[in-house]
Structure 1
C-alpha cells in the first residue's frame, strides 16, 4: 500500500543522491579514517569534505564539528559535559518546557545529581519570554538550552538574543537544531551560539549520524561523557565514514535547495489550510499561525481524538506530536505548556510537509484525513446524543 507521508518532522526519506554518495564507503572505500594507510587517508579526506559541508549549512567553524550518533547524543554531551559529578546547587541550568524529550530527560538527570534546574516561561505562541528568561540567569548558571525550531508547533526561537543574555552572566547557550537545520538559515558564528545539535535523518540523510557543533573558544568548558580511542576528544569511537559522507551530502543539498524548498512548502501549507478549514468546521492552529516554519502544522480537530485518527489511517502517515512521546497517553507537554487545554491537546494532530511531495499527493492525503475526521466526529456526536448529552 502506498502511504502518503506527512510526518517529516519525525524523519525523512534518504535522498537518492545521499544514498549514491554513501555506497562507495560501504564497498570499496571501506578504510578506517583514523588509519595511516591509503584507504584510511582516502576515508579521512571524505570525512574532511563532509565536515566542510556540514559547517557550511550551519554557518559554523569546521574545527568545531564533532560527529555523533545524532542530536540526542549531542544534547547529552553539551548539557551533561558542562557539569562535574560533584556539582550541586546553587550551580544551575535553564531548560525550556517545550523542548524535545532528550533535553528534558537530561534536566531530570541533572536534578537527581543535585544541580538546580530552572524552567523558562513561553508565550502562547511558544516563543520564550526573554524578560523572564533573563531573570533566571545568574553567575551560577552553567548552561541554558532551547530548540531553535519547535518540532511540534514550528515556533522559531530568538536564539541570538538568548545567547547574548547567557553570555552576560557567563553561561553557555546550547541549541537543539534538529528540527531547524535545512529548513531555516542557521549561523552559529553570527548568533554566538555555544553548542548546537543536529541529526542527518531530519534533512534527507541517514539515521544514526549527527553533529555537535562547538564554538572553539568554549571547548575546554565541556568534558567528555564517554571515553575511548580519542577520534574526537569529546566523542571517541570509530568514525562511520559512510554515514558522515551521507550527512555531508544531505547538508550540501539542503543548503542549495533551502530557498526554493521554503517557497514550495509555503505553497503546500496554503493549499492544506484552505482545504482543511473548508472541510473541518472549527479547526484551529496551535501556536502562531504565521510566525513559525511553514512545514509544521499542528491542528485542533474538534470532536476527534488525535490518536484515534492517526491509528485509523493506514494510508496516511501523520502524528499527534513528537515521535519521542508517541507511547505516552498524556497530552502533548508542548501544547499544555503553551496553554492548550488537555481536551484540545488530545484532539490535535501534527503534519510535517515536504517540498518533495506534489500538491496532488497532499490533497489526496488531506481528503483522506478529513473524511476520517468527520466520520470519527460523527460517531462522537451520535454517542453523546444517545447518552442524552446536549450537542451544541
Structure 2
C-alpha cells in the first residue's frame, strides 16, 4: 500500500512512539496525583506543554491539552459565544472551513447567534474586502482556517487577524493542517485562539491542544465544556492522557527541528507527482497553486467518479475530500464553494504526502492512476 492520505492522518513517527511507551507501561501514574510517581507523570506533561508552546511561539500556560482538534474547536467557539455574548452574538467564518467549525456555528445559530459564512474566490482565497464588509460592532469572533484540509490553500491570516482586531473581534484560526508543517508564530500572525491535533504531524490520535491567548492585547476567558476536577486550569477537566500528551510534545519537538528539510523533500515529491498527473488529459488543480501547502494537491479528473477512482486504485491510499465527512454522499462543500459543479466535485482526488513518502513511489502511482482514468472514461464514453 502506498499511503498518500496524510491530511487525513499520519503514520506515528517511531521516535514519538518510543517517547510514549514508558507512560503506557511502567510510568502509568495519574499526572494529577501528588505522590512521586504522579509527579513524574506531571513532569512529562510539563515538558510536552513547553514543546508545543515553543513550536507555536506561545507561553506554556496558554496551551490547553484536549482530545484533539475537534474538541479544541468546540471549546474555543462555544467558549467565546458563552463568555462574550454581552458584546454581541455575531460570528464570522468561511464556507470552506472544516465541518468541525461549521457544525459548531450551525449549533450556535440554534442558540440565537448569527453567523456569516463568507464565500471564497475561485482559487479558494478569501477576499479581504468581503471580510471588511461583513465585520460589525457586534462581531465577537472571526474564524478562518490557516490551511485548508482538502486543497492546501493558505489564507492570509495575518491580514485577516488585523482586520478582525480593528473591529474589536477575537480571531481564531484552525491550525490543524498547518501546525508541524509550516512555521507558525501566534504573536507574529495575531492569533487569539488556535486548535491543533497531534495525528496530523506524526503524533498519536486522540490528543490535541488549544492555544488560548492569555497576554496582551487581551486575556481571553472561555467557559469550559467539561467540568469535574478543574484540570488544565479549569478549562478542560478529565484525567490527562499522559502518553498521548508526551507523544504530542515529541512530535512538536521533531517538527521544530525537521520542518524545513521535510518541507523541501516532501514538496519536491509533491511537485513531481503533480507534474506527471497533470499530463493526463482533462485534469486541473483545485485551489490557488501558489498560496498552498507543499504536501497536497487536489486534482479534478474530468469524466471520472472519484469513488470509482479510489476503488480502482485499491493499493494506493488517497481520498476525495475530508476523512471527517467520508460517510456523506454530498459533494465536497469546499470544492462547491470554489465554484465547481456537483459533477466536477465528485470527480476530484486529494493526494497528500508526508514524511514517509519517497520519490520512487511517484512513477507507480502515476501509471496506475492513468490506467484507471483511461478505463473509467472508456466506460463512460
TM range (shorter): over 0.9
Q: Is residue 2:45 matched to residue 1:44?
A: no
Tell me, in whole angstroms, the C-alpha distance in 2 between the residues paired with 1:86 and 1:183: 32
Describe the superposition over 1:307-352 as per-residue Cα deviations: whole angstroms up to 9, x where unpaired: 1111232211100011112112221100010111222111111110
Aligned to 2:138: 140
Tell me, in whole angstroms, the C-alpha distance in 1 between the residues paired with 2:176 and 2:274: 25
Tell me, in whole angstroms, the C-alpha distance in 2 between the residues paired with 1:370 and 1:153: 21
Q: Which runs of 5+ in 2 are unaligned?
A: none
Tell me, in whole angstroms, the C-alpha distance in 2 between the residues paired with 1:272 and 1:226: 44
Verify the 8 A CA contact 2:88 2:140 in the aligned structure 1: no
Verify the 8 A CA contact 2:155 2:291 in the aligned structure 1: no
Tell me, in whole angstroms, the C-alpha distance in 2 between the residues paired with 1:261 and 1:101: 28
Secondary structure of the 1:216 match is coil
Tell me, in whole angstroms, the C-alpha distance in 2 between the residues paired with 1:220 and 1:162: 19
Aligned to 1:251: 252
Verify the 8 A CA contact 1:11 1:202 in the aligned structure 2: yes
Aligned to 1:125: 123
Aligned to 1:371: 371
Aligned to 2:239: 238
Aligned to 1:197: 195
Describe the superposition over 1:345-366 as per-residue Cα deviations: whole angstroms up to 9, x where unpaired: 1111111011321111232123
Tell me, in whole angstroms, the C-alpha distance in 1 between the residues paired with 2:271 and 2:57: 30
Following superposition, the deviation at residue 219 of structure 1 comes to: 4.3
Verify the 8 A CA contact 2:148 2:154 in the aligned structure 1: yes
Compute the TM-score of the two structures, normalised by the length of structure 1: 0.93
Verify the 8 A CA contact 1:90 1:116 in the aligned structure 2: no
Range moving further from structure 2, 11-20 or 215-224: 215-224
Secondary structure of the 1:83 match is helix
Tell me, in whole angstroms, the C-alpha distance in 1 between the residues paired with 2:313 and 2:180: 29
Distance 1:90 1:68, change over 3 A: closer
- Over the aligned positions, Cα root-mean-square deviation in angstroms equals 1.6
Aligned to 1:81: 79
Describe the superposition over 1:81-140 as per-residue Cα deviations: whole angstroms up to 9, x where unpaired: 112399599621001110100000011101001101111231111111111112211221
Verify the 8 A CA contact 1:149 1:155 in the aligned structure 2: yes
Secondary structure of the 2:302 match is coil
Structure 1 outlier segments of 4+, above 6 Å: none
Tell me, in whole angstroms, the C-alpha distance in 2 between the residues paired with 1:143 and 1:360: 45
Verify the 8 A CA contact 1:142 1:170 in the aligned structure 2: yes
Range moving further from structure 2, 281-290 or 242-251: 281-290
Secondary structure of the 2:331 match is coil
Structure with bigger gyration radius = 1
Aligned to 2:227: 227
Verify the 8 A CA contact 1:134 1:165 in the aligned structure 2: yes
Q: How does 1:237-316 map to 2 (within 5 A)?
A: 237-278=238-279, 280-316=280-316
Following superposition, the deviation at residue 230 of structure 1 comes to: 0.6
Q: How does 1:296-375 map to 2 (within 5 A)?
A: 296-375=296-375
Describe the superposition over 1:261-311 as per-residue Cα deviations: whole angstroms up to 9, x where unpaired: 111122112211222122x11210001122201211100111111111112
Tell me, in whole angstroms, the C-alpha distance in 2 between the residues paired with 1:175 and 1:377: 40
Tell me, in whole angstroms, the C-alpha distance in 2 between the residues paired with 1:186 and 1:102: 21
Aligned to 2:176: 178
Aligned to 2:11: 13
Q: Which runs of 5+ in 1 are unaligned?
A: 382-392
Verify the 8 A CA contact 2:84 2:140 in the aligned structure 1: no
Verify the 8 A CA contact 2:53 2:59 in the aligned structure 1: yes
Verify the 8 A CA contact 1:88 1:115 in the aligned structure 2: no
Tell me, in whole angstroms, the C-alpha distance in 2 between the residues paired with 1:377 and 1:83: 49
Verify the 8 A CA contact 2:73 2:195 in the aligned structure 1: yes
Verify the 8 A CA contact 1:61 1:189 in the aligned structure 2: no
Corresponding pairs, count: 378
Describe the superposition over 1:6-38 as per-residue Cα deviations: whole angstroms up to 9, x where unpaired: 100000001100000000011111111111111
Range moving further from structure 2, 136-145 or 220-229: 220-229
Tell me, in whole angstroms, the C-alpha distance in 2 between the residues paired with 1:327 and 1:313: 19
Following superposition, the deviation at residue 260 of structure 1 comes to: 0.6
Distance 1:367 1:89, change over 3 A: farther
Describe the superposition over 1:162-199 as per-residue Cα deviations: whole angstroms up to 9, x where unpaired: 11111112211111111111111100122120000000
Say which of 160, 163, 175 aligns to 1:162.
160
Tell me, in whole angstroms, the C-alpha distance in 2 between the residues paired with 1:123 and 1:31: 51
Secondary structure of the 2:203 match is coil
